[in-house]
Chain A
Amino acid sequence: MAEDRSYANPDVLVSTEWVAQHSNDPTVRIAESDEDYLLYEQGHIPGAVKVDWFTILQDPLKRDFIDKKGFEKLMGELGISNDTTVVFYGDKSNWFACYAFWLFNLYGHQKKKIMDGGRAKWVAEGRPLTKDVPSYPKTRYKAQDPDLSVRAFRTDVFKHLEKKLPLVDVRSPQEYRGELLHMPGYPQEGAMRGGHIPGAKNIPWSSAVREDQTFKPAEELRRLYESQGITPDKEIIAYCRIGERSSHTWFVLKYLLGYPKVKNYDGSWTEWGNLVGAPIEKP
Chain B
Amino acid sequence: MNLDRQAQIEFLLDRYENPRYKRRLEDADVSMEGGNPGCGDIVRLYLKFDGDRLAKISFEGQGCTISQASADVLAEMVEGQTIQELKAFTHEELIEVLGQGIVQNRTRCALLSLDTLKMALRKHRERKVLKAQV
Contacts and interface: CB of A to CB of B under 8 A. Distances in A.
A binds B: yes
Interface of A: 35-39, 41-42, 54-55, 92, 172, 174-175, 180, 183-186, 188-189, 241
A184 to B, nearest CB: 6
A38 B9 contact: yes
Given A37-B106, A241-B38, A184 B119 contact: yes
Contacts of B40: 92
Contact of A55 (B35, B105, B115): B105
Interface of B: 9, 12-13, 16-17, 34-40, 64-66, 69, 102-103, 105-106, 108-109, 111-112, 115, 118-119, 122
20 contacts: A35-B64, A36-B65, A37-B64, A37-B102, A38-B66, A41-B13, A42-B13, A42-B16, A54-B105, A54-B106, A172-B37, A183-B34, A183-B37, A184-B119, A186-B34, A186-B111, A186-B112, A186-B115, A188-B36, A189-B38
Give the secondary structure class of B's interface: helix
Contacts of B12: 38
Contacts of B102: 37-38
B37 A175 contact: yes
A180 B118 CA distance: 20
Contacts of B106: 37, 54
Nearest to A95: B39
A61 B128 CA distance: 46
B65 A183 contact: no
